Chain A
Amino acid sequence: MSGTTNISHSNHDDHHHKETFITKYIFSQDHKMIAKQYLILGVLFMGFIGVAMSLLFRLQLAWPEQSFAVFDIFLGDWAPEGVMDPNIYLALVTIHGTIMVFFVLTAGLSGTFSNLLIPLQIGARDMASGLLNMISFWLFFLSSMVMLASLFVEAGPAAAGWTIYPPLSALPQTQPGSGTGMTLWLISMAIFVASSLLGSLNYIVTVINLRTKGMSMFRLPLTIWAFFVTAIIGVISFPVLLSAALLLIMDRSFGTSFFLSDIFVQGEVLHYQGGSPVLFEHLFWFLGHPEVYIVLLPALGITSEIIATNSRKPIFGYRAMVASILAIAFLSTIVWGHHMFISGMNPFLGSVFTFTTLLIAIPSAVKAFNYITTLWKGNLQFNPGMLFSIGLVSTFITGGLTGIILGDSTLDINIHDTYFVVAHFHLVMGISALYGLFAGVYHWFPKLFGTMMNKNLGYIHFWVTAISAYGVFFPMHFIGMAGLPRRYYTNTAFPYFDDLANINVVITVFALLAGAAQLVFLYNFLHSMFFGKKAEQNPWRSNTMEWTAPVEHIHGNWPGEIPHVHRWAYDYSKPGQKEDFVLQTTPHSKGEVETEH
């Protein structure tokens, strides 16, 4: 290799053009810098806001209509004398959902790790198009700023729920949040979709075209498979959300009737004729359900990688894992109707969607069993990333199983839009994806910033979060089965749910505890970024290619020629090898047989 280094280095000189502060840190086209930008804006900043909002409305739910100084400070006129207004309660729920689903778990998660890992793990110098990648981030920035700006309009931000079903979202007469707040929400999401599409196209093209020599599709680490398939689902489904948003904008501002018909508000018959809100539900969930997997698959990919590395074992059933990712991706596009069993659509469709929905449980179960078998007879290294990965498998099982109940159209009748749903999706996509995100941050922090995060703070972060996540969401199943609908400002307006009040207090206490644990993470992150211990090149003794690149970030990733790949990513503890890991770039030694997988 050393012989070729000089030659290729001189070829590579054109990459080292002069960098100014602006091209290096702001309008950077380097995938590693863009990953950091997504991490800091999407995960830390937007995540902080999204979580803080949930704590505000949890306070209201535990101690309804009581005065809190913290409401007075942050909500001002929306909380007269510190008591939260019902409209602002709905706004907080809406923006919490929007920020967590789209900004943190879609853009933040994929943006950070697809950008960081795709070029580094497949052996590419950068993304296929650095420029598009940069534009993608700055569109995301713009979209975030528009969403945050909507928090400052007089009538408050969008408050129709993150699913923004019309007519509530279409008619400002029906709630204050459907005025300027909703306009900004729609603009923000339209920009977001553009950003997401540019990002996804880039990921797909990069994975297909820029793999280094020897990196066949079946030698790709599972992270890349997950990011690649996620990007494909995004390209298929996000445009449908964009069209729904555009049609809604037309209904709101230009008098069309795509989603509206026969409406009477505030003593006035409106002119809308012939549209249907159910059409919007179809369009929304055609994105909305694949979106669950857009959030979850990258987390599962990250977890596959981290569990294998820290078990010091190959991931069990690599091809089955790839097959289940593909199966989930395909099925995810034909299950959207299970959000609409009682929307008024034909009951026959309900049967069809029950069928496809329960089918998707099969590849999900296969993934869970493969994770568990990977742990079997391993030599588990409990680094913080590993703890979060095992935590993900645990919440994925707990949350996934209740999906069997919600996915059954019959059972959905009585728990639709109750807290049971809230408990289910928070565990299976919210908490699980967040665990995947945290796992990824702890694991690739050395690659991102060249320093290590403090492991003891990581342990505290995990255990407190793990306990409080179950403390928050487990009781919610029961208040849901007791019949309490979601998005209620308080459950004490009439006596029937009075006996749920103390459960709500328990949930809020755990939520506050979970919030506090995230401050430990935030502190650990910022402190380690500046003062953390310098990382070695391959701290976790991992097989994948990113650890062959130098710790210091350089443009083009490898100083010399890009290393070639000779084996799959999971030769951990292979018999006959001196170490318990073999880098993908290491050629087979004499007499060594390539692992069949």
Chain B
Amino acid sequence: MTLLLTLTILILTGIALWQITKIFELSQLGRKKDDSQIATEKDNDLNGKLMFAFLVFIYVVTIYSFWSYSKVLLPESASAHGPAYDTLLWISFAIILFAQTITQAVLHVFAYKYRGINNRKAYFYTHNNKLEFIWTIIPAIIFFMLIIYGMVTWGNIMNIEEDEDALVIELYAQQWNWKARYAGQDNVLGDANVRFLNDFDGRNSVGIDSSDPNGMDDVVVTQEFHLPVNRKVIFKFRSQDVLHSAYMPHFRAQMNCVPGMITEFAFTPTVTTADMRMNSDVVDKVNRINKIRYENSKELTANGEEALEPYQFDYLLLCAKICGASHYNMQMKIVVESEKDYEKWLSEQKTFSETIQ
């Protein structure tokens, strides 16, 4: 029935459009006939002016978006390499916004200024090698500077030195949740493989090889994992089924988790969860979200359902690589805290040897 109705509406809309064009054509009959469908001076004038208006539109959209949407952007980074990342990002943004503003202006102003007039002859101008050279060399210089700047930053971020002090943590991905494995007292992760997943009636949730002594003191956690502030963390990523991507936006960190191989990323968290909750951007964001949740709760309670709990900020580990049905809800809480709180929390977790007993 609904299908029939939709189809009828579509057909009627089509007929209406057809009739409107007919009427439009008929109304033109009395006047001097021009149905060549080729742009006239009047069309050029109108569309030329619209081109100028469109330039204003682009500027308005840009300014409005920056003014209105920049509040949803990520807050200050919470990792040691974060400021370098953010600086490079804003420098690149400044360059492209400058280029965008100028080139769009020239394009649309030319379109407006040179809109066609009958009997005017265009300027015959085929090429100018000097100009071509200038606008090849200027972008080239700018891009080379960006490339070198980017490469140096990339090298600093991706160069993972096996550092005695660094904490080694494995992030383990599966459809559709995360687990984290701590290396324990020895700070060495035990060998692991999917072959061992069915050992110990499934209690071996990340497939640790029980014959490797390094694995016995490993600690596997779900739901949330904790990091000590200001200590370098080397992450090793594994996946048991499909590609996932470990995305920790506040730390400017992301790496794919690939079945059959171990990938790596390292960063040093610099801001504790408690401190980040005091960040003014974060406070604003939390307030906005809670306002939305409050409105939604009103609706829910009116229907006799439970109200939503107020939201509190937490760092998140998200999945950023399409991985099936619940891709959109594959996340884990990250808690950054003082070394002392971290040690306390870790000591409360079960080690692998305790789990399999």
Q: Which residues of A contact B128 (CB under 8 A)?
A: 316-317
Q: Which residue of B lies closest to A403 (CB)?
A: B96
Indicate if A75 sits at the interface (CB-CB under 8 A).
Answer: no
Indicate if the CB atoms of B88 and A373 lie closer than 8 Å.
no
Indicate if the CB atoms of A369 and B135 lie closer than 8 Å.
yes
Indicate if the CB atoms of A277 and B122 lie closer than 8 Å.
no
Known A-B contacts: A264-B240, A265-B241, A401-B96. Give 8 more (CB < 8 A): A86-B326, A380-B48, A381-B116, A414-B254, A481-B74, A485-B320, A488-B327, A489-B327
Q: Which residue of A lies closest to B197 (CB)?
A: A264
A sample of 20 inter-chain contacts (CB < 8 A) reads: A262-B193, A262-B194, A316-B126, A317-B127, A344-B237, A347-B158, A376-B123, A379-B116, A380-B48, A382-B47, A394-B104, A404-B96, A416-B320, A417-B245, A474-B62, A479-B72, A485-B247, A488-B327, A495-B293, A496-B311
Q: Mark contacts of A425-466 with chain B using CB atoms, 8 A cut-off: 1 yes-contact digit, 0 otherwise.
A: 000000000000000000000000000111111010001001
**B199 smallest CB distance to A (angstroms):** 11
For the complex, give the distance between the alpha carbons of A470 and B54 in Å.
Answer: 11
Indicate if the CB atoms of A380 and B261 lie closer than 8 Å.
no
Indicate if A378 sits at the interface (CB-CB under 8 A).
Answer: yes
Q: Which residue of B lies closest to A595 (CB)?
A: B126
Contacts A455-B37, A483-B249 given: A168-B322 contact, CB under 8 Å? yes
Q: Which residues of A contact B37 (CB under 8 A)?
A: 452-455, 532-533, 539
Q: Which residues of B contact A491 (CB under 8 A)?
A: 328
Q: Which residues of A contact B322 (CB under 8 A)?
A: 90, 160-161, 165, 168, 487
Q: Which of B127, B193, B247, B321 contacts A597 (CB 8 A)?
A: B127
Q: Which of A161, A365, A390, A540 contacts B107 (CB 8 A)?
A: A390
Indicate if the CB atoms of B61 and A168 lie closer than 8 Å.
no
**B275 smallest CB distance to A (angstroms):** 18
Q: Which residue of B lies closest to A494 (CB)?
A: B331
For the complex, give the distance between the alpha carbons of A134 and B254 in Å.
Answer: 47
The 4 A-B pairs with the shortest beta carbon distances in the complex, nearest first, are A261-B260, A483-B249, A377-B123, A382-B47
Contacts A175-B324, A359-B143, A409-B150 given: A381-B103 contact, CB under 8 Å? no
Indicate if B21 sits at the interface (CB-CB under 8 A).
Answer: yes
Stretch of A20-28, A179-187, A200-208, A566-574 that contacts chain B: A566-574
Q: Which of B73, B127, B242, B326 contacts A319 (CB 8 A)?
A: B127
Q: Which residue of B lies closest to A501 (CB)?
A: B292
**B83 smallest CB distance to A (angstroms):** 13
Total number of A residues with any Cβ neighbor in B under 8 Å: 140
Interface of B is mostly: helix
Indicate if the CB atoms of B38 and A499 lie closer than 8 Å.
no
**A34 smallest CB distance to B (angstroms):** 26
Indicate if the CB atoms of A390 and B51 lie closer than 8 Å.
yes
Q: Which of A263, A398, A493 contacts B100 (CB 8 A)?
A: A398
Indicate if the CB atoms of A488 and B328 lie closer than 8 Å.
yes
Of residues 312 through 348 on chain A, the ones whose CB sits less than 8 Å from some CB of chain B are 312-314, 316-320, 342-344, 347
**B54 smallest CB distance to A (angstroms):** 6
Indicate if the CB atoms of A168 and B243 lie closer than 8 Å.
yes
**A478 smallest CB distance to B (angstroms):** 4
Indicate if B198 sits at the interface (CB-CB under 8 A).
Answer: yes
Indicate if the CB atoms of A499 and B127 lie closer than 8 Å.
no
For the complex, give the distance between the alpha carbons of A535 and B135 in Å.
Answer: 40
Q: Could you list which residues of chain A lie within 8 angstroms of chain B, going by C-beta atoms?
A: 69-70, 72-73, 86-87, 90, 160-161, 165-168, 171, 174-175, 260-265, 267, 269, 274-278, 311-314, 316-320, 342-344, 347, 350-351, 354-355, 358-359, 361-362, 365-366, 368-373, 375-383, 386-387, 390, 393-394, 397-398, 401-402, 404-405, 408-411, 413-414, 416-418, 452-457, 459, 463, 466-467, 470-471, 474-475, 477-479, 481-483, 485-491, 493-496, 498-501, 503, 519-520, 523, 527, 532-533, 539-540, 570, 572-575, 580, 595-597
Q: How large is the interface on B (under 10, 10 to 19, 20 to 34, 35 or more residues)?
A: 35 or more
Central interface residue in A408, A416, A533, by most chain B CB within 10 Å:
A408
Q: Could you list which residues of chain B lie within 8 angstroms of chain A, going by C-beta atoms?
A: 2-3, 6, 13-14, 17-18, 21, 24, 35-39, 43-44, 46-48, 50-51, 54, 57-58, 61-62, 65, 69-70, 72-74, 85, 88-89, 92-93, 95-96, 99-100, 103-104, 106-108, 110-111, 114-117, 120-128, 131-132, 135-136, 139-140, 143, 146-147, 150-151, 153-155, 157-159, 174-175, 193-195, 197-198, 202, 207, 237, 240-243, 245, 247, 249-250, 252-256, 258-261, 263, 285, 288-289, 292-293, 311, 316, 318-329, 331
For the complex, give the distance between the alpha carbons of A393 and B51 in Å.
Answer: 13
Q: Which of B194, B252, B288 contacts A414 (CB 8 A)?
A: B252
Contacts A269-B195, A342-B255, A354-B147 given: A378-B114 contact, CB under 8 Å? yes
**A366 smallest CB distance to B (angstroms):** 6
Q: Which residues of B contact A358 (CB under 8 A)?
A: 143, 146-147
For the complex, give the distance between the alpha carbons of A370 and B132 in Å.
Answer: 8
Q: Which residue of A lies closest to B257 (CB)?
A: A344
**B118 smallest CB distance to A (angstroms):** 9
Indicate if the CB atoms of A342 and B116 lie closer than 8 Å.
no
**A414 smallest CB distance to B (angstroms):** 5
Q: Which residues of A contact B93 (CB under 8 A)?
A: 405
Contacts A175-B324, A318-B127, A319-B127 given: A260-B260 contact, CB under 8 Å? yes
Q: Which residues of B contact A418 (CB under 8 A)?
A: 320
**B124 smallest CB distance to A (angstroms):** 5
For the complex, give the distance between the alpha carbons of A495 and B30 in Å.
Answer: 62
**A338 smallest CB distance to B (angstroms):** 12
Indicate if the CB atoms of B311 and A498 lie closer than 8 Å.
yes
**A69 smallest CB distance to B (angstroms):** 5
